[in-house]
């Protein structure tokens, strides 16, 4: 009776061969290099605080952002000051950064931004042109229909931070962040922003000492309604019956 044929697998088991194929097929692609995303220009009214319009397309562990070019007397809401008027922030602090210029400041700041990795090497360098003009607060409010180009992650971060500022009673910072998200076309941000001016909502939140502005509340509720907010029409009705 002839011997049974011997099957050869070249000393590799099927299981090991399959594992090698799978491992090779799902190996992740290289992650893109860290990069600062900065608009060419940002403007504000004379002396007004501005949220820094800066984000990262990736945030390596330990990454820091170093900024130079602030006018004397300027401060940031987060991070720490450096010598010669510079400022240093962590990547996670960028979404919270609000620049407060000197009181009554009008003019230009040309900021130099450096993204530094944990080993202090510079991964990216960009410039940001900031300009404060003689536009009044009421004129700024009338630009509610202006659309900013922000991605969904930026809008979500602005909304979350803005609501956090409302919870802590810092309406000035909340309004800055929420307006930026609302101008990017977010209905929830426009609704929340209107609420920071609405005397009825301020009373409900226990913020009776904060200054209300019915005209601004109405404007942003109307904008929220245009953007599809289901709650905005009811808020407008309540505001119309409010007795100062």
Residues 177 and 221 in one domain: yes
Of the residues 80, 102, 135, the one at which a domain ends: 135
Query: What pLDDT score was predicted for residue 21?
Result: 33
Q: Which domain holds residue 198?
A: 139-235
pLDDT over 80 at 210, yes or no: no
Q: Name the DSSP class of 199.
A: H
- Report if residue 15 sits inside a domain: no
Query: What pLDDT score was predicted for residue 39?
Result: 79
Of the residues 85, 113, 135, the one at which a domain ends: 135
Residues 102 and 75 in one domain: yes
CATH number for the domain including 53? 2.60.40.10
Query: What pLDDT score was predicted for residue 206?
Result: 85
Q: Tokens representing 62?
A: 């330990």
Query: What pLDDT score was predicted for residue 138?
Result: 40
Query: What pLDDT score was predicted for residue 24?
Result: 39
- Report if residue 44 sits inside a domain: yes
CATH number for the domain including 167? 1.25.40
CA distance 49 to 179: 12
Residues 103 and 40 in one domain: yes
Residues 195 and 208 in one domain: yes
The confidence band for 189, taking pLDDT boundaries of 50, 70 and 90, is very high
Residues 131 and 46 in one domain: yes
Residues 122 and 61 in one domain: yes
Query: What pLDDT score was predicted for residue 125?
Result: 92
- Report if residue 242 sits inside a domain: no
Query: What pLDDT score was predicted for residue 161?
Result: 85
Residue 147: what are its φ and ψ, rounded to 5°? -105, 125
176 or 68, greater pLDDT: 68
pLDDT over 80 at 66, yes or no: yes
Residues 130 and 40 in one domain: yes
Q: Label residues 86-124 b or e (16+ Cβ within 10 Å = b).
A: bbbbebebbbbbbbbbeeebeeebebebbbbeeeeeebb
Residues 148 and 128 in one domain: no
- Tell me the percentage of the chain whose pLDDT exceeds 70: 79
Residues 42 and 121 in one domain: yes
pLDDT over 70 at 234, yes or no: yes
**Mean of pLDDT values over 213-238:** 90
How confident is the model over 49-59, as pLDDT tens digits?
Answer: 888 878 777 77
- Report if residue 109 sits inside a domain: yes
- Report if residue 217 sits inside a domain: yes
- What's the chain's Rg over C-alpha atoms? 26
Residues 174 and 201 in one domain: yes
CB atoms within 10 A of CB 52: 25
Of the residues 135, 158, 188, the one at which a domain ends: 135
pLDDT over 50 at 84, yes or no: yes
pLDDT over 90 at 42, yes or no: no
**Mean of pLDDT values over 5-18:** 40
Number of domains into which the chain is organized: 2
pLDDT over 60 at 44, yes or no: yes
Residues 45 and 63 in one domain: yes
- Report if residue 9 sits inside a domain: no
Query: What pLDDT score was predicted for residue 18?
Result: 30
Residues 79 and 150 in one domain: no
- Report if residue 30 sits inside a domain: no
- Report if residue 149 sits inside a domain: yes
The kind and range of the H/E element at 225 are helix 214-226
The confidence band for 113, taking pLDDT boundaries of 50, 70 and 90, is very high
How confident is the model over 137-180, as pLDDT tens digits?
Answer: 444 444 444 455 677 888 888 888 888 888 888 888 888 888 88
pLDDT over 90 at 87, yes or no: yes
């Amino acid at each position: 009776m002839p011997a049974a044929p011997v099957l050869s697998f070249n000393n590799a088991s099927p299981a090991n061969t399959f594992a090698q194929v799978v491992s090779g097929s799902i190996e992740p692609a290289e992650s893109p290099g860290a990069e600062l995303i900065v608009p060419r220009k940002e403007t504000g009214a004379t002396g007004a605080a501005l949220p820094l319009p800066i984000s990262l397309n990736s945030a390596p562990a330990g990454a820091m952002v170093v900024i130079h070019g602030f006018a004397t007397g300027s401060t940031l809401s987060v991070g720490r000051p450096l010598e010669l008027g510079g400022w240093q922030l962590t990547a996670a602090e960028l979404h919270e950064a609000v620049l407060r210029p000197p009181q009554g400041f009008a003019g230009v700041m040309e900021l130099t931004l450096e993204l530094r990795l944990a080993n202090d090497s510079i991964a990216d360098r960009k410039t940001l042109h900031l300009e404060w003009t003689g536009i009044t607060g009421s004129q700024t409010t009338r630009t509610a229909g202006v659309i900013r180009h922000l991605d969904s992650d930026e809008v979500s971060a602005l909304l979350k931070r803005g609501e956090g500022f409302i919870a802590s009673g810092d309406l000035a910072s909340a309004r800055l962040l929420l307006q930026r998200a609302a101008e990017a076309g977010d209905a929830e941000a426009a609704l929340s922003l209107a609420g920071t001016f609405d005397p009825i909502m301020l009373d409900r939140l226990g913020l009776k000492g904060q200054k209300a502005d019915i005209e601004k509340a109405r404007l942003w509720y109307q904008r929220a309604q245009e953007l599809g907010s289901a709650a905005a029409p009811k808020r407008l009705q309540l505001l119309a019956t409010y007795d100062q």
